[in-house]
Structure formats: C-alpha cells, structure tokens
Structure 1
Amino acid sequence: MDSEDSEDENIEFNLDSGLNEVVPEIKRNLVGFWLLGLFNNFAYVIMLSAAHDLLRENANQDEIEPQPEIGSADNETSPILYSNNTGRDCNPVSTGAILLADILPAILIKSLAPFLHLPASLKVSVVTILAGASFLIVSFSHSNLVTYTGVICASLSSGLGEVTFLSYSHQFHPMVISAWSSGTGGAGVLGAGSFALLTHLGLSPRTTLLLMLVVPVGMFLTFFFLIKPSSQGHAEDSVPLVLQEETELGSRMTFQEKLGSMRGLLRYMIPLGLVYFFEYLINQGLFELLYFPKSGLTHSQQYRWYQLDYQMGVLVSRSSLHWIKIEKIGLLALLQFTNFIIFLLQSIYWVSSSLWIVFLLIFLEGLLGGAAYVNTFYRISMEVETRRKEFSLGIASLADSTAIGLAGFVSIYIHNLICALPINNSSFLA
C-alpha cells in the first residue's frame, strides 16, 4: 500500500481505529455484511456437516426393509452395511461426493456471474429461493440422486451469493470485507454447531434441515432492509441500487479488460487455492476415516464435531483482520500441506490414539484456511484500482471454489484407496 496515497491512509486509519469510532451508518453495514456472510454460507456448511449422515441413511434405506425410522437422530442401530473386510468403517460413497455437488455448481456460477450485468436485487432474490429449495429438497429426500439435487441448489445459492456480495462490497466502507469474512466463519460454527447439537438432542438430520429455512428469510431481510451503500464507499447513498448500476455502465470494464485483469489476480488466487485444496482434502477425504471407537462418540457424532472444530478455527481467523494482517499466503499453503500429510499418515497408520490431538490439528487447519481467505480479499480490496475492484473481488472467489472442486475429486480417490487398506495398528481400535 503506497504511503503517499491519502485515500489508502484514511482507510488504514479507519480500520485501526476500531468499531467505536466509525459512524453509525457504517456500523449498520458492518452488522449487515456479517449477517450476509452468515446466511450465505449456512446452507453450504450444513450440507457438508450432514454429508456423513445423509449418505449413511440413504445407504441403509437402500439395503434394509422396512426402512429405518427417520426420527432416530443417528440411525446407528442399523447394521453397519458400509464397513468392509479390511476392518475400516467406511461409507460406500465418500463424503467427497457431497462436496462435489456442493461446489461444482458454485464454480460454474462464479465463472459466469462477474461477466453478467444484472441488478444485485435480482441476484439476491434468486440466492434466497435456491437456499430455501435446498433445505426442502434434502430434508424430504430418500435417495442419493435427490439429495445431490438439493445440495446443488445450496451450491448455486452460496456461489452466486458470494460473488454478488463480494462484488457489491465495493460500494461500502472497506471494513465490510472483514465483517463479511467473519460472518462466513460464523456460518461455519453456527451451522456445524447447530446441526451437531440438534441431532445430538434427538432430532433427525432431515428434521434439523427443515428448521434451517429461517436462514434464507434472514438473508432477504438483511439485504433489502438493513444495509445501504456507505457514504465512504464508491456510490452515493441517495442513488437507488438499480439506477446506481445503470450509471456505472459507462465505466465498466470490457470483456477483454476483464480477461486481462485475471492474469494480474493470479498472485492472489494461486496461494489461496492451494490452501483450500489441501484443506478440503483433509475435510472431505480424511475426516470420515479418523474414527476412534473408544471415544464414546459414534462415527457420525465424531464427524459432526470434527466439522464444528474446524469451523471454530475458521471463525477465529476470519475475524482476526483487525488485529493481524498476513501478506505471505504462500506460507499458509505450505503449513496446510504439512497438515494434510499428518492427517494422511494418521488415517492410514493410526500413529496417534489421542482424539484430542486430532481436534487440535483440525482447529489449526481451520485457522490457516480462514486467515488465507480474509487476508486475500482484504489485499485485493486495498491494492486493486477502484475501477477494477468490483470485478476482481468477484472473480477471485473462483480460486477457493475451484481448488475445493479439485479436492473433491481427489478426496474420493483417497477415500477408496485408504478404505481398501487393512488397518496396520488396531490395538486401540478394537
């Protein structure tokens, strides 16, 4: 950041001055963007948290007559049809399959949305409808095909929402980037936490999903009735959203300019993508293989608490921008790769019998991923010229989504490979 740039100095001053010194209008927008981050990522998180349960229930329903009661929170009294002769407790389908359904449509929508000039109000309306449909479809599904359809709706919703809200943030005070990132971290904790808690209390996974219909309603109300462009952003408060977008058409980047800008964004996108690639190899390729039978928790319960632990790390680091800023995202990628190797060795050889060590490493994994996300988008918001900022913030979100999609494919291969291996150290698994 150039020290001679008065605008950047003013932004830095405001960022370091704390929430108590910003104007009430900006506070309102900070709360609004925190809620938008929360609501936007909620469906995505819930689908990943429920992945093990949904695949398990669908597998049991395909094999058992009569079908098991859905009212049972875990359905773990049913025979373990998903084990194999290696002694490992494996679902026939990796949770990486849910991940692919939860991310590939998001990649598609994120690739197209920055090139389309549609009113933000229209895009947000579509986002809320898709989110609501995802909860309804999955909650009433009894087959993998229908389940995947619901997850795809969640993916389209979160993908379109992320690129829309990140692009729209250029009309607000720069601190909304931090608020948005913190809200997405909150979605992880509240989403994974509420799912783990409600199912632990006895609600079935599918009933729990129905309760989440309050989330898209909250998103709709927040966008249309809470936030408004800040006087310190790049648009005047008195200009309506649709007119605002129309008056900016003349200064919008051409298609060729957008393609050219993407080359300059690679220095932000590649390190972020690497962090997320290794992160989701762990989450969807290895989490379900880290089963400790002596812990007192069922396999499904362990998976849910792994997801919550990870999301807590994400929340902490995505909320840390006010206190610490990281420029070397490549270092975070190296640390995440190290984390992946540790988890890979644990899932194959069971080198540690301590569930608490695994919880600690999962929390660290979440810290690294959240830090990479918030610092990458903060740097883009501060370093990219104003005219290119809207497009850059939107298209850069492709980095993590594309990496997650690649990780989904690889995680299925890793799951099948490890599940075919005999357990070499079963002394504490018996």
Structure 2
Amino acid sequence: MAKERYYARNWASFHFMGNINNFSYCVVNAAGQSLAEFFHNSKNIGLILWANIAFGFVARMLNTFVLEKISTRAKITFNVVIMATGLVGVAMSVYVNFWFCLACISLIGIGSSFGESVLLVYLKQFPSEMVNGWSSGTGVAGVSGSLFYIALSGLAHLENQTIFLIILPTIAIYGLLFFLGIKIPRTKTDALLSEDTPLHYEELNEELVNTANDDQGQIPTQDDMDSMIRPEVGPPGETKKQRYIRCARLVWWNAINLMLVYFFEYVASVGGADLAVRSLKGDWFNENAYPILSFCYQFGVLLSRSSLQLVKIKRIGVITVLQGINMALWLLQGRYKMISSIWVLFVLMFYCGLLGGASYVNVFYLILHDKRIPNEDREVCINYAALLVTLGITLASVFILVMDHTFMKAYLPVTTDSSSGESSLLMSLNI
C-alpha cells in the first residue's frame, strides 16, 4: 500500500520540518538576553519574548479565519520567505536598532506559529500517527536550539549576527522537505486526486477514534469503534459564523485541556522554576540550576512528543489535572523551599515536560481521528487547538509577571540587574 511505501519517508520529513519550524524561535529565546544587552535595552528584554509570541497568535488567527481557502503550497512558500527574512533581519539589526530587531523577531515568531498551524492541518491527509513525526521534531527543536546557541555563543564565542546567518540554510531545507520529501498516501482510486485533496480515513485503514459520546476526550472501546459514526455536518445554508461555532463545539474539550496544560506547564517551568532556584548557591549544578531545569523540561517534552507509537493517552483530562498539581507544587517550592535536593527538582521538571508533550501529541491525534468532525471542517478544528496553545502561553506569561509583582514579590531576591527576572522568564519559553 501507499502508506507502507511512504510512511518512513513522510515521518522523517515531518520530523525535520517540525525541528526547523521551531528551531529559530528557540534560538531567539536563548539569545534574548544577549540581544537586549547589545542594544543597551536589558530592561526591555520582555519585549523580545512578546515579539516572539504575540504576533504568532495573529498568524494563527489569519490561517484559521482568513486563509482557509489558500493552498498549502502557497502558505509554505510564504512561510519560507517570512522565516528567512526574519533571520536575515535579526542578523542585520546590529546595523540598525533595537526596534528593527524586534520587528524581525516577530517575523520569526510568525513563521513558527504559522508553519505549525498550516502543517498540523496538512497532516489530516496522512495516517494520524504521522503527527508523532511532527511533534517529536518540535520537541527536538527545544533541546537542539538551546544547545546550538550555547555551543556557538558560549563555547565558540560567535557573534549573534553570525549565528543567525548560520541558521539560514535550514529554511531552504524546510522548503525542500515539503515540496520534495513529503508524499501523500493514496490508493489506486485516489490516483487522480490533487495534492491538497484529503483522503478518507477508512482508506488509510486506521483504527477509528470517536469522541461523540465521550466528553472526556477518551479513545472509545472496540464496540464503539465498530459502530457507524457519521460526521456532524452543518445544516443547509449554514453561515460562516454558525460553522465556526459548530466546529468549536466539536473540539472544545480537547482544545481547552491543551490550553490549560500549556498554561500550567509554563507557569511551573518558567515562573515556578525561577522562584525555586534563583538564590541557590554552591556547586556548579546549583549555580546553573535554571538552565539545567530548562534542558530537563525540553528533554521531557521531546520524549513524550515522540511516544505516540508506544502509548496513546486515553484520558486527556487526567494529564491536565496532573499538570495543574505540578504547577501548584512548583509555586509552593518557590515559596517554602520544601525540596532541598536539586536533583529531585531536575526529575520533577523532566516530569513537567513529559506531561506537556503527552498532552500536545495526544490531543492532536484525537482531533485528527475524531469521526464526528467532517473532513472539510478538520482544518478549522485543528486551528482552534493551535490557537489555544498560543493563548495558554500568553496567559502564563501574564500570570508570571503579575505573580512576580504581587503575591510572590516578597520571595524574589533583590538583584542589581533589573532584567534578570525577565531573562529567566525568556530562557525556557519554548513551544
């Protein structure tokens, strides 16, 4: 079958596209402090974080509600131009000013968010397990991006201008992987279909997943799978507004859970971790606890985003509850310092990443498999979930800033560098 012929090739293509899609975004976060200091704007380092995230939300909105009819080929071509322009612009901003640098960083953020939104929708034409290739690639980006910047800046002592230009060829690889690497699986009867024509899931011979009678986002029993499930199509004459409301109703449980998990994990891995280790002194591990915690988090995300072939989580709500408890634990640790061993904190942060990555890959798997969703509406439903991911991160950023200036203010050590808090916030904020 076509699936067997192209499965490994497509998985690898989506994996490396996921890595490249998020790689520049992660490097910007790692370079944030250095960029702000270069322009003598350490106090405005938070603007780098905002530029890298906020405009991505706008890009997702446009893809969901405005550009739905535009072909995937055109969108990817546009995204390649946007990402390349952003990288060149950040590199050249050393000759301009801080505000030009922020504008170019926003292009990198737009490229990352827009590319994710477009390619998650594109995955509807493939076996649903293919989302694991994409998700594991984005997980690798968090680890490889931070290590890449540490190696080139901290060890090789290269300037930011050079580092961002070195990344530029990866954008060409990103485009080539899409246009030459990915092959849509099709049966003989599908031979005449265009590249952007979605396949029926029955033809892909995938196990059916239905959440029609399952408000908890569970994968149904075998008996449920054997029953005939019909997509919940709109009535004749359905308006665009009615369609968007219907799609939101179809996907709300999975999308809200994903948003909450992202909110909880970023409050824990950024704000909670900052409070927990900011004043630690002693050996090398204590002195470098925050970046090590960031690495532990990203490594957990990488493993769980790559786990779909091994395990599928049936109860999405359980992950949300566990991550909420984890966030509360990190905030309590920041206040009371209950855990004295830094190694225990490393393990807990790894666990935080595992939960976050598991929610991401399983939620998109469920949406891609949900037989209630008509295939022509699947793009809108996927984009709803992607939009709420960005919303969850944005809300977490706001919560951390409010927290550090109100009820947790008394537990923040006094520092002479006003940008230190913002810097620590920036270091771990990766999708």
State the TM-score, normalizing by the size of structure 1: 0.76
Q: Pick closer, same or farther for the CA change 1:146–1:176 going to 2, 3 Å.
A: same
Q: AA paired with 2:264?
A: F
**Which of 285, 289, 296 does residue 284 from structure 2 map onto?**
296
Matches of 2:164 and 2:283, distance apart in 1 = 27
Q: AA paired with 1:42?
A: F
How far 1:418 moved relative to its partner?
Answer: 7.5
Q: Is residue 228 of structure 2 the alignment partner of residue 276 of structure 1?
A: no
Secondary structure class of the residue paired with 1:231: coil
Alignment map for 1:3-402 (pairs within 5 Å): 23-55=4-36, 57-58=37-38, 61-62=40-41, 92=43, 95=46, 97-115=47-65, 116=67, 117-141=69-93, 144-204=98-158, 206=160, 207-231=162-186, 236=190, 238-241=192-195, 244=197, 255=240, 256-289=242-275, 290-291=277-278, 292-296=280-284, 302-383=289-370, 384-402=373-391
How far 1:335 moved relative to its partner?
Answer: 1.7
1:174-194 alpha-carbon deviations (Å, 9 max, x no partner) = 222121111111212222222
Q: AA paired with 1:30?
A: W
How far 1:402 moved relative to its partner?
Answer: 1.0
How far 1:39 moved relative to its partner?
Answer: 1.4
How far 1:157 moved relative to its partner?
Answer: 0.5
Q: Pick closer, same or farther for the CA change 1:205–1:283 going to 2, 3 Å.
A: farther
Q: AA paired with 2:168?
A: L
Secondary structure class of the residue paired with 1:50: helix
How far 1:380 moved relative to its partner?
Answer: 0.8
Name the stretch that deviates more: 115-124 or 127-136: 127-136
Gaps of 5+ in 1: 1-13, 15-20, 63-90, 246-250, 426-430
Q: Which residue of 2 aligns with 1:79?
A: none
Secondary structure class of the residue paired with 1:397: helix
Matches of 1:138 and 1:257, distance apart in 2 = 40
* Alpha carbons 1:40, 1:157 under 8 Å: kept: yes
Matches of 2:289 and 2:264, distance apart in 1 = 21
Q: Pick closer, same or farther for the CA change 1:52–1:329 going to 2, 3 Å.
A: farther
* Alpha carbons 2:129, 2:309 under 8 Å: kept: no
Secondary structure class of the residue paired with 1:315: helix
Matches of 1:199 and 1:125, distance apart in 2 = 31
How far 1:209 moved relative to its partner?
Answer: 3.0
Secondary structure class of the residue paired with 2:381: helix
Q: Pick closer, same or farther for the CA change 1:194–1:267 going to 2, 3 Å.
A: same
Matches of 1:267 and 1:136, distance apart in 2 = 40
| RMSD of aligned alpha carbons | 3.2
Q: AA paired with 2:80?
A: T
How far 1:396 moved relative to its partner?
Answer: 1.9
Q: Which residue of 2 aligns with 1:75?
A: none
* Alpha carbons 1:167, 1:393 under 8 Å: kept: yes
Gaps of 5+ in 2: 199-232, 415-431
* Alpha carbons 1:271, 1:329 under 8 Å: kept: yes
* Alpha carbons 1:229, 1:236 under 8 Å: kept: no
Matches of 2:393 and 2:64, distance apart in 1 = 20
Matches of 2:349 and 2:111, distance apart in 1 = 27
State the TM-score, normalizing by the size of structure 2: 0.76
Q: AA paired with 2:296?
A: D
Q: Pick closer, same or farther for the CA change 1:127–1:330 going to 2, 3 Å.
A: same
* Alpha carbons 1:230, 1:237 under 8 Å: kept: no
Q: Pick closer, same or farther for the CA change 1:50–1:267 going to 2, 3 Å.
A: same
Matches of 1:24 and 1:58, distance apart in 2 = 51
Percent identical pairs in the alignment equals 29
* Alpha carbons 2:258, 2:363 under 8 Å: kept: yes
How far 1:283 moved relative to its partner?
Answer: 3.6
